[in-house]
Amino acid sequence: MLLEPLLPQLEAHDLLQARGTQRPDSPHSLAAIQTLHRLALVGETRRYGLNRLAVAAPAWLQAHLPPAWGDRDSHRVENYRLPKTDAERQQLAAAIGADGFTLLRAAYAPEAPPEVREAPAVEVLRQIWVQQYYGPDAPPRWRQEPDVPPAALLIHSPYDLEARYSVQRGSAWVGYKAHLTETCDNATPHVITHVLRGR
């Protein structure tokens, strides 16, 4: 919003020349999220969905919420609280997956109200479940590492669906790249002429 009206003013004062020398750059910015282990991600996504539906459709959620879910989802999911053995982690992943698929089936049922079916939190849950589980089997099967989407597509947090894992010049982060174009003629000040936020 600031850049577009500024560029003609710079041209009018001969501070910006057409077809001058330019250089691109792609600095990165971190997402304002906690990067989660896959198991913590699905647990926190389930919790996120329930919290959002508790605001959007409290009566519907109360009618579809098994009592155990309220106790389980009262605290944020943290990596250090997760089980340590692989067998226990697989069991927890299956339980969380089953809960998520149960919630999705109820949310997409014909009798579900529009504020539930169209809730952004339900779509977030659906996208992450597609990435992390093979399907609504009983119990759901946790995707093995080779079968999860590539880093450029993988969602890392229910709170920011566009943040992606990236590596550039030996630095790794979860967040974004901003693609900048800057003038670099010696006779004029260096000015950023184009900004594009990318993943």
**pLDDT value, residue 58:** 93
Look at 110 and 168; give whichever has higher pLDDT: 110
The answer to whether residues 164 and 156 touch, using CB atoms and an 8 Å cutoff, is yes
Phi, psi dihedrals of residue 175, rounded to the nearest 5°: 170, -130
- Tell me the domain boundaries of the chain: 3-31+164-198, 38-147
Q: Does 163 have pLDDT greater than 70? A: no
Q: Does 35 have pLDDT greater than 50? A: no
Mean pLDDT of 14-41: 63
Mean pLDDT score across all residues of the chain = 78
pLDDT in tens, 94-151: 889 999 999 999 999 999 999 999 999 999 999 999 999 987 777 788 888 888 888 7
Alpha-carbon distances, residue 195 vs 124, 157, 182, 191, 192 (angstroms): 28, 25, 9, 11, 8
Q: Does 152 have pLDDT greater than 60? A: yes
